[in-house]
Structure 1
Amino acid sequence: MPASLTDLVQVASEELRLSTTPDYPQALNGLQLTNGSNQVTRIVAAVDACLPVVRAAVDCKSDLLIVHHGLFWSGAQLITGSLYEKLKLAMEHNLAIYSAHIPLDVHPTLGNNACLAAALNLGETEPFFSWKGIQLGVRASVDLTRDELLARVIAATGATAHLCPGGPERIRSVGIITGGAGSEIFAMAETGVDTFITGEGPHWSYTAAEELGLNVIYGGHYATETFGVKALSTWLSERYDLPWEFVDHPTGL
């Protein structure tokens, strides 16, 4: 039986605390594009609301696309070019698009951070790293070598990971912020963790980590952020008895 799009969006947004979780000003979390039927029969999850993903969602005959990186990031935009193509294609095929950025990073069970930590089998975690009044990441106490943790990251993400061996070879404390948090190297070193897992960072973050005595594993921006949309889609699928699938469109970054 189809689910109500209005109801599903409300439930998802309440679970993710969209109204109270801070984000970048242009993130526009929530339902970014409605569909004409106000019904959901099939969910597609993806990291990015890019044109190939929208095409794939249409091919899957989905009426709801859930993404981490939505359609809009730069304020008011001209509806031309690829944005026009995406909106036109989605509207012609009754495809709604729902986006959740920081709320889907920090959720305690469905979030990218929590799900990556679970996939790495790090044991109990706790929120940490203050940002705009929330805790942006998770941390865990471990007893692993750098190579052991690197191998776990590669296995969990299915992607290449890059290690900066700036800290101790034996790891005792790991901090995780998925995506593009490599620019937070200096603040991360002040938290006391000896190893930081993120997706990507600027060039200077590597040498800064060496000088700060911090291990960093760059697991890929895309690869570290596939977990949340999968977890949210699974949760909604179970709640509404809807089929769902993941569209993998890796950037390699």
Structure 2
Amino acid sequence: MENLIHIVRQLDAKFKIKSFGKDPAFSRFIPQVYEGEVHWREKFEPEFNKLFNGLMIKGNPEVKNIFLAVFPTKEVLEGFIENGESGDLLFMHHPLLMECGDPNGKWGRGFVPIEEKLLDEIRSKGLSVYTCHAPMDYHETLGTSQAMAEALNVDITERFIHDDRHGCIGIIGNVEKTNTEDLIENLKRIFDIPYVDFEGRKKEIKKVAIVAGCGDKTQWMQQAEDKGADAYISGEIHCHIDNDYGRKRFDEVIDYARQTNMSLIGVSHSASEYLVKKTLMAPWFEEKFDFEAIHLIPQEDWWL
């Protein structure tokens, strides 16, 4: 059993939460999806309402078990509420569900709020929630892209998509020689997905670029190609959000794919970011703390 505040301080320090200031994405999207619907500032911790990372919901002080997930889907939160004991902690990457859409199915709605009923059930049961978005994407040892690179045995040669304050979110490196078809089969196995999203060329692959999460920016793809990558692997190579923004981004990648020499491969936003929970964060929590159990909560549908 561990003290909640001790865990929070360790996480805040490891991911340098305060140095990031306001999370650039969720400082915009949380107010947008909740305003006029839910008094969200009353549900979340005051510090979270400033930074949009860190301890989001504060439950009882003694933590027996920790739960790890990516998005707060209804199924993930219901599983946490049902199986968590008073004081238990849910550590997620995102404080909002993002319906990213399915390349072989229905397009998504984008950011979706957590149902108020679920927030109230978490609070009434004395459970806690901690989320870490941008600080985890930039982290070089416990990062989302880092976990993907390690799973693919990438010999990292450089990092890209640079921020002057925080470093890089993308990774480039060499892999054992393979081809597009075999790489796709390996990715399906690693991320436990039925299919990938694919554009571009099928070819021999010796160098890859990795961007976890939402990598559907053609300027990032071009950076990777300029640095000699044969394949660009991301959570998303296409935006499948059903609005004008999503369709514009989708068309941009289609245009880029016609002229690129790379293989562009998407493994789903959520699956790409779940890997770090499974392979890096779970062992880190096991080493640092004395929990009764560490529970991974995968999504029922990675292509949500």
* Counterpart Cα distance in 2 of 1:140 and 1:179: 18
**Distance 1:82-1:170 versus aligned 2 partners, 3 A rule:** closer
> Where does 1:6-85 land on structure 2 (aligned, <5 Å)?
6-21=5-20, 23-27=23-27, 28-35=52-59, 37-62=60-85, 63-71=88-96, 82-85=114-117
- Provide TM-score, normalisation by structure 1: 0.86
* Counterpart Cα distance in 2 of 1:125 and 1:198: 18
Match of 2:275 among 227, 239, 243: 227
**Following superposition, which runs of at least 4 residues in structure 1 exceed 6 angstroms of deviation?**
none
Correspondence 1:112 to 2:144 = yes
**Distance 1:178-1:21 versus aligned 2 partners, 3 A rule:** same
- The equivalent of 2:109 in structure 1 is none
Match of 2:225 among 174, 184, 189: 189
- The equivalent of 2:38 in structure 1 is none
Aligned length: 243
- The equivalent of 1:98 in structure 2 is 130
**Distance 1:125-1:161 versus aligned 2 partners, 3 A rule:** farther
What is the identity percentage for the equivalent residue pairs of Structure 1 and Structure 2? 23
How big is the shift at 1:56?
0.5
Q: Secondary structure at the match of 1:144?
A: strand
Q: Deviations over 1:92-151 (max 9, x none)?
A: 111100001122223222222111111122234542221454211111113221122212
- The equivalent of 1:161 in structure 2 is 196
Contact 1:125-1:139 within 8 A present in 2 as well: yes
- Provide TM-score, normalisation by structure 2: 0.73
Q: Secondary structure at the match of 1:19?
A: helix
Contact 1:51-1:85 within 8 A present in 2 as well: no
* Counterpart Cα distance in 1 of 2:115 and 2:164: 30
Question: Unaligned 5+ residue runs, structure 2?
Answer: 28-51, 99-112, 240-249
- The equivalent of 1:246 in structure 2 is 296
Match of 2:185 among 151, 173, 195: 151
- The equivalent of 2:3 in structure 1 is 4
* Counterpart Cα distance in 2 of 1:172 and 1:90: 47
Q: Read off the aligned partner of 1:145 and give its amino acid letter.
A: N
* Counterpart Cα distance in 2 of 1:251 and 1:132: 32
Q: Secondary structure at the match of 1:179?
A: strand
- The equivalent of 1:217 in structure 2 is 265
- The equivalent of 1:177 in structure 2 is 211
**Distance 1:228-1:125 versus aligned 2 partners, 3 A rule:** farther
Question: Unaligned 5+ residue runs, structure 1?
Answer: 74-80
- The equivalent of 1:77 in structure 2 is none
Q: Deviations over 1:17-70 (max 9, x none)?
A: 2223474252511111111x2221100111112332221012222410011111
**Distance 1:132-1:89 versus aligned 2 partners, 3 A rule:** farther
Q: Deviations over 1:144-166 (max 9, x none)?
A: 21122212211110102123233
Bigger Cα displacement from structure 2, 150-159 vs 226-235 = 226-235
**Distance 1:116-1:89 versus aligned 2 partners, 3 A rule:** same
* Counterpart Cα distance in 2 of 1:152 and 1:221: 17
Q: Read off the aligned partner of 1:252 and give its amino acid letter.
A: W
Contact 1:34-1:95 within 8 A present in 2 as well: yes
Contact 2:55-2:131 within 8 A present in 1 as well: yes
